[in-house]
Amino acid sequence: MVMLAKPAIEQFSYIRNSRPTALFPQIPVVDLSKPDSKHQIIKACEEFGFFRVINHGVPMDFMSRLESEATKFFSLPLCEKEKTGQPKPYGYGNKRIGPNGDVGWVEYLLLTTNHDPNLLRFLSGENPESFRFALNNYMSAVKKMACEILEMIADGLKIQPRNVFSKLLMDEQSDSVFRLNHYPPCPDVQSLNGSNVIGFGEHTDPQIISVLRSNNTSGLQISLRDGSWISVPPDQYSFFINVGDSLQVMTNGRFKSVKHRVMANGVKSRLSMIYFGGPPLSEKIAPLPSLMGGEQSLYKEFTWFEYKKSVYNSKLADNRLMHFERIAAS
The DSSP secondary-structure symbol of 326 reads P
Is there a contact between 210 and 277 (Cβ–Cβ < 8 Å)?
yes
CB atoms within 10 A of CB 296: 10
Percent helix, strand and coil across the chain, each rounded to 5? 30, 25, 45
- How far, in Å, CA of 322 to CA of 257, rounded? 13
Give catalytic residues, as residue numbers: 270
Is there a contact between 247 and 210 (Cβ–Cβ < 8 Å)?
no
| φ/ψ of residue 268, rounded to 5 | -110, 150
Terminal Cα distance for the chain, rounded: 59
Residue spans of beta strands (DSSP E) within the chain: 14-16, 29-31, 50-54, 91-97, 102-112, 177-183, 195-203, 209-214, 220-223, 229-231, 239-243, 260-263, 270-277, 284-285, 302-303
Which of 49, 110, 40, 28 minimizes the C-alpha distance to 245? 49
CB atoms within 10 A of CB 129: 10
CB atoms within 10 A of CB 205: 24
For the chain, count helices (H), then strands (E): 7, 15
Is there a contact between 29 and 237 (Cβ–Cβ < 8 Å)?
no
Strand partners, 209: 243, 277
